[in-house]
């Protein structure tokens, strides 16, 4: 008898779980496919089909039929943002589930060790998943092999295969690279590049992913898996594969792992960097927009870029077909997206300009910009039987939303430190979707390209310190920031995607809210100093607020961490004078109150507890006493505050029945402490 899959979205518990006919929870397998520098405009369904339909011979186009089909069978997210406009900080935010206002990797901090905290990997491990990371990492820290402090095996992954170092990901042939020579590929802690003759990394990572999925289904059929599949294409050296994609796809076709040194995959033969896709090899275009003159061939760089994208299209289709062949497609959630916008890099003698195909789509900006073209990225979600075909998610969302989304799909709740929200309500069309908190910050010393496709006021614009925030359906962006008082440009990016009409003068109140908001949702990091780091966090004002009482909300939760409780109904709500006046038989208590800052200046905060806790002020992650916390140890944090009242939430993960020990205090400019116990 066929299993009938029913979706029960438990809105009150903020969990959406899939149940089989027998009543067991079916946690889906999850595959997160992350491309490197693939622009919003590089995909057919998002932009290239518009160019194809226009059929202007001076505007060449790309085709991605398999990815278009994936989108048609699932959901597309045309308003999806990357957390940062360059790879290392973007990937750190994805893996940690936090914005660039809280991630420990910011700006251009390539190869910096990813913070030892909750990640996509260990959150899903705790939810009962086997976890694998395949492809580009670049967040390992200093060391080699087991000495790397943030090797994937130390950040929640049971298996790793790929490039550890950021620079290695610029090369798509580990042994025969045309850019900077041989690179190192690691399987767990073993360096194996010596066996990888003629292995094109896009094919290699696909073959390893397929091998892992097949082996898992043979060995762990009762346990779901999570795979972080991070390709290094189309970024950097636009190298070509050795040959056409092998016939077929999935279990018995497509790329396959052979495992023989010197011939590890079935495309490790032929000539390195040689195969140009036939539909592009002879492509021509009207280079001077004059039909009276002959068309000219596409420059080789653009033939290469188109071929690499075509290869990506086939690789993803190969993985999806494998899921179908193994009959696990209806219980596998697959996300396809990119780490940031399209890039102007080729790493070859002939440069690549993304305005040839307009990989930035209908936007202005590219990689390293906080205008839409640098951070609006393609996103497709595929989950047959659960996500209705042709679903379009029109609400804006951002890449650190994936951690809460996957946690909910796994039947859990994300750690409270995550800045993201689950997107399952939008994807399954069940329940109420919570609004995403969209924020980014970044520094780059250069300027925007002077592409004629960009608005004149954006061409050559100085980047410097940049910020982006979304409030009330409008996007605020500011470049070359000198102080916290610099104005935002404000745009309706839904109706004005190229950000041509600045609405700032029409929205003075929103302008101030944006300036306040960006200070109320980030914590300064001395390794990525900003000109607004020392600005005091705006208060709610100096009017009277009853700060004498705390509101205490009790919850029943079942997570090993301090969880998000969005949408979860409290078992009790009461006003208390201290932390002890609450029911003892509860798993978590959220204390809500206000701190009064008597004057502008630096405040020090102190927290200690007998179990786990997390403190937010406004939307700032103030003190994290959750992951790796030693009970009883005092943790401190310093923050500049504006005089007035500041909202605080203290998330206290208790042990039911135990004596409560929680203390939160603060002091002004080194003065005496005051607080709650």
pLDDT tens, 604-658? 999 999 999 999 999 999 999 999 999 999 999 999 999 999 999 999 998 877 7
Res. 542 pLDDT band, cuts 50 70 90: low
pLDDT for 657: 73
Q: Which residues pair with 381 in a beta bridge?
A: 75, 335
The answer, yes or no, to whether residue 13 has pLDDT greater than 50, is: no
Computed over every residue of the chain, the mean pLDDT equals: 93
The answer, yes or no, to whether residue 18 has pLDDT greater than 50, is: no
- Which CATH number does the domain 6-417 belong to among 3.30.1050.10, 2.120.10.30, 3.40.720.10, 3.40.50.460? 3.40.720.10
H-run or E-run covering 466: strand 462-471
> Where are the domain boundaries for CATH 2.60.120.260 in the chain?
550-676
Rounded alpha-carbon distances, angstroms, from residue 354 to 351, 368, 453: 10, 13, 10
The answer, yes or no, to whether residue 21 has pLDDT greater than 70, is: no
What is the spatial distance between Cα 249 and Cα 318, in angstroms, rounded to a whole number? 5
pLDDT for 322: 98
Res. 178 pLDDT band, cuts 50 70 90: confident
Question: Which residues, in sequence order, are CB contacts of 517 under 8 Å at separation 6+?
Answer: 469, 471
Rounded alpha-carbon distances, angstroms, from residue 577 to 648, 675, 677: 15, 11, 9
> Which CATH code is given to the segment(s) 550-676?
2.60.120.260
Torsional sign, CA 30, 250, 37, 386: negative
What's the mean pLDDT in 316-320? Answer: 98
Question: Which residues, in sequence order, are CB contacts of 292 under 8 Å at separation 6+?
Answer: none
Question: Which residues, in sequence order, are CB contacts of 114 under 8 Å at separation 6+?
Answer: 92, 95, 96, 104, 105, 139, 140, 141, 150, 155
The answer, yes or no, to whether residue 180 has pLDDT greater than 80, is: no
Place of tokens 């011979």: 57
What's the mean pLDDT in 518-539? Answer: 97
The answer, yes or no, to whether residue 541 has pLDDT greater than 80, is: no
DSSP string spanning 574-635? EEESSTTSS-SS-SEEEEEEEEEESSSEEEEEEEEESSEEEEEETTEEEEEESTT--TT--E
Given its phi and psi angles, is residue 3 left (phi above 0), alpha (psi -120 to 50 degrees) or beta? beta
The answer, yes or no, to whether residue 14 has pLDDT greater than 50, is: no
How much is the pTM? Answer: 0.95
Of 459, 573, 465, 472, nearest to 514 (Cα)? 472
664 vs 21: which has the higher pLDDT = 664
Residues of the chain above pLDDT 90, percent: 88
Rounded alpha-carbon distances, angstroms, from residue 110 to 106, 162, 555: 9, 16, 40
- 8 A C-beta contact, residue 132 and residue 228: yes
Question: Which residues, in sequence order, are CB contacts of 156 under 8 Å at separation 6+?
Answer: 119, 120, 121, 122, 123, 124, 125, 131
The answer, yes or no, to whether residue 19 has pLDDT greater than 70, is: no
The answer, yes or no, to whether residue 223 has pLDDT greater than 90, is: yes
Residue 42 C-alpha from the chain's centroid: 19
What's the mean pLDDT in 307-333? Answer: 98
The answer, yes or no, to whether residue 570 has pLDDT greater than 70, is: yes
pLDDT 10s digits, 353-378: 999 999 999 999 999 999 999 999 99
pLDDT for 4: 25
pLDDT for 220: 77
The answer, yes or no, to whether residue 25 has pLDDT greater than 60, is: no
Helix boundaries (H) for 502-592: 508-519
Q: What is the DSSP letter of 45?
A: I
- 8 A C-beta contact, residue 482 and residue 488: no
Res. 221 pLDDT band, cuts 50 70 90: confident
Place of tokens 């943790």: 635
pLDDT 10s digits, 119-166: 999 999 999 999 999 999 999 999 999 999 999 999 999 999 999 999
Torsion of the alpha carbons at 115, 116, 117 and 123, rounded to the nearest 10: 110
- Any idea what the Cα angle at residue 509 is, between residues 640 and 517, rounded to 5°? 35
> Where are the domain boundaries for CATH 3.40.720.10 in the chain?
6-417
H-run or E-run covering 304: helix 300-325
The answer, yes or no, to whether residue 11 has pLDDT greater than 60, is: no
Rg (CA), the chain: 25
Res. 309 pLDDT band, cuts 50 70 90: very high
Collapsed DSSP state (helix, strand, coil) of residue 650: strand
The answer, yes or no, to whether residue 95 has pLDDT greater than 90, is: yes
Q: Which residues pair with 641 in a beta bridge?
A: 537, 601
What is the spatial distance between Cα 675 and Cα 677, in angstroms, rounded to a whole number? 7
What's the mean pLDDT in 557-584? Answer: 90
User: Hey, what are 423's tokens?
Assistant: 């997107």
Helix boundaries (H) for 132-289: 201-219, 278-281
Would you call 121 exposed, middle or buried from its count of C-beta atoms within 10 A (0-12, 13-18, 19+)?
A: buried
User: Hey, what are 167's tokens?
Assistant: 């620079």
pLDDT for 544: 65
Of 82, 121, 28, nearest to 627 (Cα)? 121
Residues of the chain above pLDDT 70, percent: 95
pLDDT for 547: 66
């Amino acid at each position: 008898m066929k299993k009938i899959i029913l979706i029960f979205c438990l809105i009150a518990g903020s969990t959406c779980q899939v149940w089989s006919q027998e009543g067991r929870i079916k946690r889906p397998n999850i595959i997160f496919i992350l491309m490197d520098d693939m622009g919003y405009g590089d995909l057919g369904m998002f932009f290239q089909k518009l160019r194809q339909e226009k059929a202007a011979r001076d505007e060449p186009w790309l085709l991605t039929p398999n990815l278009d089909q994936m989108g048609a069978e699932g959901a597309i997210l045309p308003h999806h943002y990357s957390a940062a406009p360059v790879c290392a900080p973007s990937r750190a935010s994805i893996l940690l589930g936090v914005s660039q206002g809280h991630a420990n990797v910011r700006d251009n901090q390539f190869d910096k060790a990813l913070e030892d905290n909750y990640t996509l990997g260990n959150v899903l491990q705790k939810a009962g998943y086997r976890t694998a990371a395949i492809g580009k990492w670049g967040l390992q820290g200093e060391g080699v092999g087991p000495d790397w402090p943030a090797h994937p095996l130390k950040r929640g992954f049971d298996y790793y295969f790929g490039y550890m170092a950021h620079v290695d990901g610029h090369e798509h042939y580990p042994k025969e690279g045309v850019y900077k020579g041989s690179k190192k590929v690691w399987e767990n802690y073993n360096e194996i590049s010596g066996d990888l003759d003629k292995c094109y990394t896009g094919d290699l990572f696909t073959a390893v992913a397929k091998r892992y999925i097949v082996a898992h289904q043979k060995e762990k059929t009762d346990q779901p898996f999570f795979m972080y599949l991070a390709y290094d294409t189309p970024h950097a050296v636009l190298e070509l594969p050795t040959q056409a994609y092998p016939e077929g796809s999935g279990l018995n076709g497509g790329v396959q792992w052979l495992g023989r040194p010197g011939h590890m995959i079935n495309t490790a033969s032929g000539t390195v960097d040689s195969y140009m896709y036939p539909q592009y090899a002879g492509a021509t275009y009207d280079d001077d927009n004059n039909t009276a003159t002959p068309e000219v061939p596409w420059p080789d760089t653009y033939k290469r870029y188109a071929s690499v994208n075509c290869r990506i299209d086939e690789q993803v289709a190969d993985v999806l077909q494998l899921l179908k062949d193994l009959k696990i497609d209806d219980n596998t959630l697959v996300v396809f997206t990119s780490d940031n916008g399209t890039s102007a890099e080729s790493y070859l003698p002939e440069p690549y300009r993304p305005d040839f195909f307009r990989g930035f789509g209908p936007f202005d900006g590219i990689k390293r910009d906080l205008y839409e073209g640098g951070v609006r990225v393609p996103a497709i979600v595929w989950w047959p039987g659960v996500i209705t075909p042709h679903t379009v998610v029109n609400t804006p969302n951002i890449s650190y939303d994936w951690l809460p989304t996957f946690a909910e799909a796994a039947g859990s709740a994300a750690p409270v430190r995550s800045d993201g929200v689950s997107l399952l309500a939008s994807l399954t069309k069940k329940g109420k979707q919570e609004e995403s908190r969209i924020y980014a910050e970044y520094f780059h010393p250069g300027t925007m390209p002077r592409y004629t496709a960009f608005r004149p006021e954006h061409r050559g614009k100085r980047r410097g310190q940049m910020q982006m925030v979304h409030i009330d359906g409008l996007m605020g962006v500011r470049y070359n920031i000198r102080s916290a008082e610099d104005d935002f440009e404000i745009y309706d990016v839904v109706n004005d995607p190229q950000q041509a009409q600045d609405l700032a003068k029409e929205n003075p109140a929103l302008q101030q809210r944006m300036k306040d908001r960006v200070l109320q949702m980030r914590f300064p990091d001395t390794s990525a100093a900003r000109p607004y780091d020392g600005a005091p966090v705006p208060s709610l004002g100096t009017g009277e607020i009853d700060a004498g009482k705390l509101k205490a909300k009790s919850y029943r939760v079942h997570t090993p961490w301090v969880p998000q409780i969005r949408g979860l109904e409290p078992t009790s709500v009461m006003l208390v004078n201290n932390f002890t006046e609450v029911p003892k038989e509860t798993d978590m208590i959220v204390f809500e109150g206000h701190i009064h800052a008597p004057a502008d200046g630096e405040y020090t905060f102190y927290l200690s507890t007998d179990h786990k806790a997390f403190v937010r002020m406004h939307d700032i992650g103030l003190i994290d006493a959750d992951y790796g916390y030693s009970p009883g140890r005092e943790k401190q944090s310093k923050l500049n505050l504006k005089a007035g009242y500041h909202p605080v939430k203290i998330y206290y993960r208790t042990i039911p029945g135990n004596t409560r020990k929680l203390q939160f205090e603060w002091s002004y400019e080194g003065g005496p402490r005051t607080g709650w116990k």
